[in-house]
Each structure stands twice: as structure tokens, then as C-alpha cells.
A and B are shown apart, each in its own frame.
Chain A
Amino acid sequence: MSSTNTENWMKDIGVLDLTGVGGGSTSAAKKITALVVDDDSVNQTIHSKMLENLGIQNQVVRNGKEAVDLHSSGNNFDLILMDMDMPVMNGIEATRKLREMGVRSIIAGVSTCTRDEREQKEFMESGLDDFQEKPLTTPKLVSILHKLNKKC
């Protein structure tokens, strides 16, 4: 994605306006940070690249425990993309723990469609701000980022 397209996306979601800096260059914009929490390498790579193309600095971890540990050691992120089914600690438990720790990031659940509505409800109630069905696409990601813009 060209830098012009990236700027257009960021203007579209209001990111470039957050600092009130004129000119609208991406280098002057508030640097949004994100954390990708997913045990699958394909999705880690795709989600990270999508964020990068939107000018969003991001890190990747493999499960909910690594996400919690990262926050325990003082890291924080504007946005967390949280998979549901992961080994060690799943997305439901991780989201609950992060909210108990006082993490106020936008946490968006990203998971494959599950017919188990109870499970999806449990995921939302653990503290998600949004839920998107996999596969994640750039338009879905932009709709999540609109929530970030509203929160700021």
C-alpha cells in the first residue's frame, strides 16, 4: 500500500487529526500501537502486515498468557487484536485478566465463526470492545480503528 493510500486510510479513521498537527504527514501523526494475539503464524503475519500498512506499530504474541505478561512488564497498546482459541491461555481468559489489570485498550476479538453463541457471548462479556469474524480484512480493521478514534 503506497504512503498516500496509508495517509488516506488514516485520515478516514481520523488518526491523522488526533495530534492536531497540521500538514497531515504520517510521520507527524500520533503513532498508534497494536498487539496481535494469535497462535497461528499465517494470521500473525497477515494481521501484522495489515497494521503495518496502516502505519500502526505492532507486536505479535502467540497466546493470551504472553499478552498478559507483556502488559505486566509495563507495555501498553492502543489496540489489541485477540484471537479466541489459543493454547496456554485463550482469548476469553486473557481479555478478562487484562481488564482486571486495568488495561483500557480497545480489545477486538478476532475469531473464526463459531456456531456456539454462548461462547461468543462469553468472549464479548469478558471485556471486548468489538468482535470481527476471521478472516480479518483491511475494511474490518478500519472499522475497529474507528472505535479507537471515538475512544480518544
Chain B
Amino acid sequence: MAETDVRKQIKDYVQTMHEQGILDHNFENVQNLQGEENPHFVLDIIDIFCRDAEICIEDMTKSVDEPVVDYAKVTGFIHLLKGSSSSVGGCRIVLACRELRKATESKTKERCVEAVNNIKREFFTVRDNLNAIAKMERSIRTDDAMTGIF
């Protein structure tokens, strides 16, 4: 498929994500940083985000599952995940992180556990959609590579 067609597909897909409130305009800020000299930038950011967010959420889960929750530690994870999520446009993860922050302030373990489960749900949604975008980006890179061969 021609690159222009795939680019249009990606643009339409991102627009759908906006309409569903899954990604906000900050994702386009990431796309705008990609250029000819760094054609893999969006792919790299998606890979880094998904990898690091998964680790962060795992650590968050372990922390709230402890018999005595270290709320300061959980707050540290919140800042990390909120920062990276906002940069890639993961607005619903950001909102879910705010709910966890409120739960840590109330120092209620059950609320924290519920909030972390919500973060997981939102992350899985964003991750699946970012991976779909990554797949489309990779198809452009594969086509470029094949063009180079022939």
C-alpha cells in the first residue's frame, strides 16, 4: 500500500481515537517531531511508553497489594505514569492517575486497589490502539525497505 494511503489511514485512526477520548492532541505533538532524519520516532516513543508504563503499573500493583501500603511510593509511580501518559496523549490514563492520587490522599487501600485496576484498563485500551498505529507505521518502514531492495 502506498505510503500516502497508510499515512491517511493513520490520520483517520488517530482522529477516531480523539473522538473516542482515548488519545488527545498531544499524540500529534509526538508525530510532528518525526521527520526524514528520524523516521522511527513515533515507533520508538510507542515502544518506550508501552514498556515503561507496563513496568510502572506492575510496581504500582505490588505496592497497593502490600499489607501496609507505602502511599508515598505509590505517589511516585503516579507522577511517572502521569507524565509519560500525558506526553503521548493518553488522557484517560492521566484521569485514572488523578483518581489514584485522590485515593492515596485518603489513605484507603481498597480505593487504591480499585483505582489501580482502572488505570490498568485504561492503559490496555491505549496500548492496543498505540500498537495498531505502530503496526501501520511499521508497514511504511517495511515498504521503504523493500523499495530499497528492488
Interface residues of A (CB under 8 A from B): 1-2, 38-43, 45-46, 49-50, 53, 83-85, 87, 111-112, 134-138
Assign chain B's interface to a size class. Answer: 20 to 34
Contact among A38, A40, A41, A49 with B33 in the assembled complex (CB-CB below 8 Å): A49
Closest A residue to B86 using CB positions: A135
**A16 nearest CB across to chain B (Å):** 20
Which residues of chain B are near A138, meaning CB under 8 Å?
Answer: 29, 32
Scoring B residues 67 to 96 as 1 if CB is less than 8 Å from chain A, else 0, what string do you get?
A: 000000000100110111011100000000
Scoring B residues 86 to 123 as 1 if CB is less than 8 Å from chain A, else 0, what string do you get?
A: 11100000000000000000000000000000000000
Q: How far is the CA of A133 from the CA of B16 in the complex (A)?
A: 26
Contact among A49, A50, A87, A135 with B26 in the assembled complex (CB-CB below 8 Å): A135
Q: How far is the CA of A40 from the CA of B78 in the complex (A)?
A: 12
Which residues of chain A are near B48, meaning CB under 8 Å?
Answer: 41-42, 45
Which of A38, A49, A136 has most chain B Cβ within 10 Å? A49
Asked if A46 contacts B87 (CB within 8 A), the reply is yes
Q: How far is the CA of A40 from the CA of B88 in the complex (A)?
A: 12
Q: How far is the CA of A134 from the CA of B52 in the complex (A)?
A: 18
Asked if B83 contacts A83 (CB within 8 A), the reply is yes
Asked if B88 contacts A137 (CB within 8 A), the reply is no
**A57 nearest CB across to chain B (Å):** 15
Q: How far is the CA of A142 from the CA of B52 in the complex (A)?
A: 28
Instruction: Given A45-B48, A134-B87, A137-B29, check contact A40 B35 (CB 8 Å).
Output: no
Which residues of chain A are near B30, meaning CB under 8 Å?
Answer: 46
Scoring B residues 21 to 45 as 1 if CB is less than 8 Å from chain A, else 0, what string do you get?
A: 0000010011011010010010011
